[in-house]
Amino acid sequence: MSPAAPLVAGFLVLISVLAVHGAAGTGRRSLVLRRLAAGPPVTAPVPSGLPAWPLPPPAWLAPRLVAAGVVADSSSVWQGWLLAGAGATALAALAGGPALAAVAVVAAVTGPPAALFACSGRADRLLEGALPDLLETMARSLRSGLSLRQAVEEAAGAPGLLGHDLRLVTGEVDAGVPLLTALDGWGRRRPLPGISLAVSALGLGVETGGAHARALDGVAATLRARSAVAGEVRALSAQARLSAVVIVLAPLGFSALAAATDERTAAFFVTPLGLACLAGGLALDALAGLWMHRLSRVDQ
């Protein structure tokens, strides 16, 4: 057995854990600056000193990054994914031979998509989490004497996804669309419970007048209370989600370690029967991961 085999096996397991943690942690650092429903994402231009990447990212990657709340260019993520996968596969081949290399390929191919799938919906949670503060800001603007349209225009200067959405609303109003119609369009583009409540409160003020600020404060308080309850539920189910991650990653780590430390296991993995067992085990592991993710999911 090569002395580096245990290190490489641990490295492969660490890559899978970091992929999940990185996709989740990046979304917590800042709000998403792009919209999922805004059409094809804009790809950042390649700097003049760097050659163009020959393999373009797949079409599903950019929407998945947006849905996971990951603020990163899809081309950069795609390049890093391919380079990390190739490096891990090369190290695994040197340490454990073809069997460990096959495990590394499977982990590199399935790990990042699984992490993005597990983090899907994070952008919506970030958006609804920032909505109460934005509504309270609009309520303060209304109390200071601004009209509802002016309050919306002032709130459109906020950073992040909410500010981007409100800039679309103000752009439609500037183009001659009635404010109520523009707000309804925002609700249709972003069918979230919090957005629906906010649009209803704003639309009620447009149609009937009255205490706009009080209505917005009430919606903000409701959304903040519901967000607190959802956060408590997610905290209580964190142990179940962490257990699911460990259960899914443990077979991959054990297979890599067994292939790296036992020549007979490595030789078995490259036989037709061993490849069939490996494929069946990975398929069952992926199915179990999806099922546990569904069981531990917290709906808003």
| pLDDT of the residue at 272 | 87
Q: Which token pair is 101?
A: 């290399």
As a whole number of angstroms, the distance between CA 148 and CA 141 comes to 9
Identify the DSSP state of 49.
T
As a whole number of angstroms, the distance between CA 131 and CA 225 comes to 12
Identify the DSSP state of 2.
-
- Check: CB of residue 32 under 8 Å from CB of residue 126: yes
As a whole number of angstroms, the distance between CA 286 and CA 290 comes to 6
- Check: CB of residue 26 under 8 Å from CB of residue 69: yes
| pLDDT of the residue at 170 | 92
- Check: CB of residue 108 under 8 Å from CB of residue 88: yes
| pLDDT of the residue at 254 | 83
Nearest one of 26, 230, 20, 34 to 117, comparing CA atoms: 20
| pLDDT of the residue at 36 | 36
C-alpha 189: how far from its chain's center? 19
Query: Which tens digits make up the pLDDT trace of 50-61?
Result: 455 567 888 888
Query: Which tens digits make up the pLDDT trace of 92-124?
Result: 788 777 767 777 787 788 778 878 877 777 778
Which sequence spans correspond to the domains of the chain?
Answer: 5-120+237-295, 123-235
- Burial code (b: 16+ CB inside 10 Å, e: under 16) for 45-70 equals eeeeeeeeeeeebeeebbbbbbbbbb
As a whole number of angstroms, the distance between CA 13 and CA 250 comes to 8
pLDDT along the chain (300 residues), means of 10: 45 46 42 37 41 74 81 83 87 77 78 79 81 89 86 85 86 90 89 87 73 82 85 78 81 80 81 85 83 71
